[in-house]
Amino acid sequence: MTITAAADGSALNNPGPAGWSWYVNDDCWAAGGWKHATNNQGELKAVLELFRATAHVDDDVLVLCDSQYVINAVTMWMPGWKKKGWRKSDGKPVLNLELLKELDAAIAGRRYRFEWVKGHVGHALNEAADARARAVAEAYARGAAPNPGPGFPGAAPAVTRAAEVSAGPPSLF
């Protein structure tokens, strides 16, 4: 069986209040975010949390993603970065290192593939993930509690909102 999910991030003013979300259907999705982060951090976190939420099942995962950065980071650049001590080809440190290392660990041994979808053109799953990620960013902008969603059936509870907010986003390096 294959789990098909969209993953998306949103940051107001980039950086600014930020959200992430993965979405399978109206009964199976999750969202979170930070008071201040970047869109790329939200995009990476959405994919990371999707893999964490589905870690207890042995299904393939199809990630629908509108972020070329995330797709390329995971499928093309990460192996080279790891060989170079998490440095880019120019020798500079990789941005969003903490999230990338966590994502690398989360996908180890998993069967997955990414499919790029154009954002904001009516793709139902992508629009649903985008709306939830943006709603989280907007909630943080208002100082309100975001809706974390129902999660994935049988998954361990996700990081609590309070812990996520107090920790803030991972550092860029």
Q: Quick one: pLDDT at residue 101?
A: 97
- Residues identified as active-site: 8-9, 43, 66, 120, 130
Q: Provide the pLDDT for residue 167.
A: 53
DSSP one-letter string for 94-152: PTTHHHHHHHHHHHTT--EEEEE--TTS--HHHHHHHHHHHHHHHHHHHTPPPP---B-
Domain assignment present for 32: yes
Let me know if residue 168 belongs to a domain.
no
User: What is the mean pLDDT for each group of 10 consecutive residues in the chain (173 residues)?
Assistant: 97 97 98 97 98 97 97 96 94 96 98 94 95 98 97 78 50 52
The answer as to whether 88 is a domain residue is: yes
Domain count, the chain: 1
* Residue 167 maps to a domain: no
* Peptide bond preceding 170 in cis form (omega within 30 of 0): no
Whether 173 maps to a domain, the answer reads: no
Secondary structure tally for the chain: helices H, strands E: 6, 5
The answer to whether residue 162 is domain-embedded is: no
Structure tokens at 95: 């941005």
Q: Give the separation between CA 66 and CA 8, rounded to whole angstroms.
A: 7
State the helix-helix crossing angle for 39-53 and 124-142, rounded to 10 degrees: 120
What is the domain-level CATH number for residue 26? 3.30.420.10
Q: What 3-state DSSP class applies to 46?
A: helix
Dig out the tokens for 123 from the structure: 């793709």
Q: pTM to 2 decimals?
A: 0.91
**What is the extent of the structural domain holding 75?**
2-155
